[in-house]
Structure 1
Amino acid sequence: MDDISTSALLIILALLLVISAYFSGSETAMMTLNRYRLRHLAGDGHSGAKRAQQLLDRPDRLIGLILIGNNLVNIFAAQLAAIIGARLLNGVVGEQAALTISGLVLTFVILIFAEVTPKTLAALHPEPIAFPASLPLKWLLITMLPVVKMMNWITSAMLRLFGIKSIKTSDALSQEELRTVVHEAGALIPRRHQEMLLSILDLGKVAVEDIMVPRNELYAINVNDDFKSINKQIINSPYTRVLLYRDTIDDAVGFVHMRDALRLQAKEQFTKSSLLRAVKELYFIPEGTPLNVQLANFQKNKEHLGLVVDEYGDIQGLVTLEDILEEIVGDFTTSMIDAPSDDITPQTDGTLVIDATINIRDLNKEMGWDFPTDGPKTLNGLILEYLEDIPSANTCLRLAGYPIEIIEVSDNMVKNVRVMPEFYDPTQR
């Protein structure tokens, strides 16, 4: 390079620094890209996004290409800096001192102008940098593919010595990571929609027995009753479908739609036999079925409701498609004003009188409380499990940190309790 002037060498050095900055910024920009937004843009036909996605499909090759280019440029820059330093400092300091000074200056320049600045800029604005940069990278990869493949093969062999057999990575989100994404979406997703998305993610954690109508609360008609009584119960039914059974719920006959029963009444063909002929076949759901599975089963079997049975085949309750949908979107029957349900009665002293047959999950959701849900399904069951006995009225206890007074007990069940939330103690759980 003795024939090349110092000014020309400085221009070449500046050009090498620009190329080094390009490789450094490209690496950071490509690796900082939001993969999900990238897929969205690529799906919309964005050419830069498509190129970037193709390069990121093989990140090992992309990183190998960038490192090869960056290191080659920096090595050439170091050699040029040494030559320029020797020329500029000739006669001022010794040869070794000139090399040291030129090396320190070049290190400082590379760090500021070819590393920190471009990488910071790329991290702040990855898309405007990554998409244009992907075009030269694509052609460089095609040109240097044999060299990149050889380097990656050597790297893979080295990694296998440490027991690492695969370098493939996955950017799939786990359920908990997806929950975090939804939480951090902020104003991008309305809060109501966030709640619905989180409810969908939680469906797999909830089983059908957690939301079913228990058997003792089922509105059902005994077909062995007097026909006048049957007719009266059908007329007064608050539901569109009613369960028919013979003497005991476990001997269920099927569901009858009130529309069919009323049609028979209008045609004056309403008898026990005609009513039984209008019965729809029963659909049974195993106890413990997660809600996400049951939702899919309802859709697959084209059913809207089913009877939950335990391992012995005994009927435990009823679950409908609406019950599952309410877990996602909230109660269809609630008003626009957030008010306690009929099972919760606020008192003037700040306490709450609660029907102990209330479902614990519903109670927690409505009041923002934290009673355990991994055991009994009702507040009555939770109290009985805790006390291991059937208490008497006026018994007081602290359950999951909440002071509770038992008001009424009958039929071996706790009927009503008084909860004093202002004395909640989270340490006593």
Structure 2
Amino acid sequence: MEQLDLTTLSIILVVLICLSAYFSSSETGLMSINKYRLKHLSSEGLAGAKRVESLLERPDRLIGLILIGNNLVNIAATLVAGEICYRLFGPIYGPIAVTLGLTLIILVFAEVTPKTFAALYPEKIAFPSSVILIPLLYLFTPFVKMVNFLTNGVLMLMRINTKGDGGTALSQEELRTVVHEAGHMIPQKHQEMLVSILDLEKVTAEDIMVPRSEIYAIDVNDDWRIIQKQLTHSQHTRVLLYRDSIDDAVGFMHVRDALRLLSKDQFTKATMLRAVREIFYTPDTTPLHTLMHKMQVEKERIGLVVDEYGDIQGLFALEDILEEIIGDFTTSMVPNYSKEAILQQDGSYIVDGSANVRDLNKELEWEFPTDGPKTLNGLILEYLEDMPESNISLRLAGYPIEVINITDNMIKTVRIIPEHYKAPNNSEEE
């Protein structure tokens, strides 16, 4: 080294620092690259992605190679910088100058700057770098294996498992986070749909069913003219038929079948009963993802929800499950608030007591508890543990609520003031 002049030594030092920056940026870029995007690009046939994927199959060898190269060039840079500083500053100030100067240079130009760039743009670094790293890996394989053998031995002495689980699968919560963090790459509406699909196992048939009291059904023991009028005026394509009580359900009548019989002058009570379709029952606790699978297997589109005693609690249709995923089918230029909640000029809402709590939370972004009663009426009654009188006020789950109307032992109408929301643990009756 003494035979080399300062210019040559300076050029060698610059080259070594560039090599150190290369190894540093390669390490960060390869370790920061999105594994799932990498798999996608590799499946699309991108050569760079395939090279990086092959390197990441053995990350221990890759990291070993990069660290070996990085340490070699850094040590060499120290020796060259030491010789330069020795000639410029002498034996006393030379070591101080090389320690301070080279540390600053390596931090700025060989560590922080290249690693920051690689973390921001991993693909721009990883893909081109793989062209050099693959042949280097073959060239230094014996040395890399020896280093890995020694490091694995030290880790085993420390009782650390060097195999790891190697799992890259995402849990539901992690996948939900990925969807939310996708930003503009996935439209907001699509994000909501994906999250709704992930939440299907948390939603049961009871949550989406039409309550028993609101089922549109026809009593087959009624006068025939009344039955015909109900069928012809029905807004539903499938109508439930029963005898005297919904608990004695007969089956579902498809309006299309009724029209077909009517066109042939064969529509009588007897032919109507023969045309009914068997009822598909499901327990009220069935998760929606299980219910969808059952409906797919049974090729059903509608059914009844029963409780643990076999009593009919409500009705559900395939459309109810789809709306749970994609939202209401109807579109409007104004916010799609629940039909049971009417916004007032003072910012409060007049809400129907039969309104579904989950629907209110979802559409109005409220935070009423959903692990108990399904309707607002049931939620208030559970909290009060008694039938209230009109004009009573309370704070439920942090929301001021005023009971406006009670009819037939049921809370019909309430006023909710979301602007005065407080923490849920401050529930109190006024």
TM-score, scaled relative to structure 2: 0.88
Aligned mate of 1:295, from 286, 292, 297: 292
1:84 Cα shift? 4.8
Describe the shift of the 1:82–1:396 C-alpha distance in structure 2 as closer, same or farther (beyond 3 A). Answer: closer
Q: What does 1:56-67 align with in structure 2 at a 5 Å threshold? A: 56-67=56-67
Corresponding residue of 1:42 = 42
Q: What does 1:2-401 align with in structure 2 at a 5 Å threshold? A: 7-86=7-86, 88=87, 93-94=90-91, 98-99=94-95, 101-165=97-161, 166-338=163-335, 340-347=337-344, 351-401=348-398
Contact kept? 1:351, 1:419, Cα under 8 Å: yes
1:37 Cα shift? 2.8
Question: For 2:342 and 2:26, how far apart are their aligned partners in 1?
Answer: 63
Moved more, 344-353 or 204-213: 344-353
Unaligned stretches of 5+ residues in structure 2: none
1:33 Cα shift? 1.9
Describe the shift of the 1:419–1:31 C-alpha distance in structure 2 as closer, same or farther (beyond 3 A). Answer: same
Report SS of the residue matched to 2:363. Answer: helix
Question: For 1:337 and 1:160, how far apart are their aligned partners in 2?
Answer: 64
Structure 2 counterpart of 1:64, which letter? G
Report SS of the residue matched to 1:376. Answer: coil
Contact kept? 1:408, 1:416, Cα under 8 Å: yes
How many residues are paired up?
Answer: 425
Contact kept? 1:81, 1:103, Cα under 8 Å: no
Contact kept? 2:243, 2:249, Cα under 8 Å: yes
Report SS of the residue matched to 1:253. Answer: strand
Report SS of the residue matched to 1:354. Answer: strand
Describe the shift of the 1:120–1:425 C-alpha distance in structure 2 as closer, same or farther (beyond 3 A). Answer: closer
1:97 Cα shift? 5.7
Contact kept? 1:25, 1:129, Cα under 8 Å: yes
Question: For 2:105 and 2:96, how far apart are their aligned partners in 1?
Answer: 14
Question: For 1:201 and 1:336, how far apart are their aligned partners in 2?
Answer: 28
Describe the shift of the 1:78–1:362 C-alpha distance in structure 2 as closer, same or farther (beyond 3 A). Answer: same
Question: For 1:282 and 1:12, how far apart are their aligned partners in 2?
Answer: 84
Describe the shift of the 1:146–1:279 C-alpha distance in structure 2 as closer, same or farther (beyond 3 A). Answer: farther
Query: % of aligned pairs identical?
Result: 60
Report SS of the residue matched to 1:76. Answer: helix
1:386 Cα shift? 0.6
Structure 2 counterpart of 1:400, which letter? A
TM-score, scaled relative to structure 1: 0.88
1:98 Cα shift? 4.3
Describe the shift of the 1:391–1:74 C-alpha distance in structure 2 as closer, same or farther (beyond 3 A). Answer: same
1:150 Cα shift? 3.4
Unaligned stretches of 5+ residues in structure 1: none
Question: For 1:22 and 1:155, how far apart are their aligned partners in 2?
Answer: 24
Question: For 2:386 and 2:158, how far apart are their aligned partners in 1?
Answer: 60
Question: For 1:125 and 1:352, how far apart are their aligned partners in 2?
Answer: 49
1:167 Cα shift? 3.3
Describe the shift of the 1:217–1:163 C-alpha distance in structure 2 as closer, same or farther (beyond 3 A). Answer: farther
Structure 2 counterpart of 1:109, which letter? I
1:241 Cα shift? 0.4
Structure 2 counterpart of 1:110, which letter? I
